Amino acid sequence: MRPKVFLSAGRTETPQQEAFVAAVTQCLQDDGFDIVRAQWSSEQPLKPIWRKMRECAGTAVIAFERLHFERGVEFRGAAKEKPLEHIAFPTVWNQIEATMAYTLGHPLLVVVEDNLRDEGLLEGRYDWYVQRVPLDPAVFSQREFRGVMTDWKERVIQGPEKKSRELAPDPESITVGQLLGSLKPAQLWGVVATIVTVLAAVFTAAFQLGQLTAQR
């Protein structure tokens, strides 16, 4: 029986994104995995995702640009305030699904587009190796990528930590608090900071757009 792996990837909106996700999916299938992805549901979104992830033995996170801001400010109004330029973020669901995978004890394969801001569980300083790459399927033939993929594949086949699966809460009762409570402090603050940053950036962009519209 082919092991199932959950693929966390945002909605593709450019030919480059579509080609990259399709290539990753084909690569995983060629390596003997069945791919499981989130689907629309009438339930609260965490529950169906949680159930699907519990069927899987590992998770692959493919993070690429969703939001891009030419200019911004970090720590606005503080003594360490600093300007930011050309900041890009992936969908926040990459962070949420990576958190859920970590809670379940899944081996994580994390591939991040090289222009994204280093934030949350997509940073390369936790219990997994983060590959920052251009959205070019040619990277799959690189020695580093194949080496990381092979190691991850072996850990997926061996199965996630049994203890983590046994301690995982029932999908019908899962809450955001339970997910975040399972993280280490540094990981928790990374996820929270990323979500807050993305939301603040969206609100700022919407406000500026509203001002421009009102001036016309």
> What average pLDDT score do residues 164-179 get?
54
Would you say 210 and 202 are in contact if contact means Cβ atoms under 8 Å apart? no
**Domain carrying residue 88:** 4-215
Q: Which two tokens stand for residue 157?
A: 């086949």
In this predicted structure, the answer to whether residue 40 has a pLDDT above a threshold of 90 is no
The DSSP letter of residue 31 is T
pTM of the predicted model as reported, rounded to 2 decimal places: 0.70
Tell me what pLDDT residue 212 has: 45
Q: What's the total number of domains in the chain?
A: 1
Give the count of beta carbons closer than 10 Å to the beta carbon of residue 76: 11
CATH number, domain at 58?
3.40.50
Strands (E), the chain: 4-9, 34-36, 58-63, 67-74, 82-89, 108-113, 130-133
The DSSP letter of residue 142 is S
Q: Which two tokens stand for residue 90?
A: 């992936």
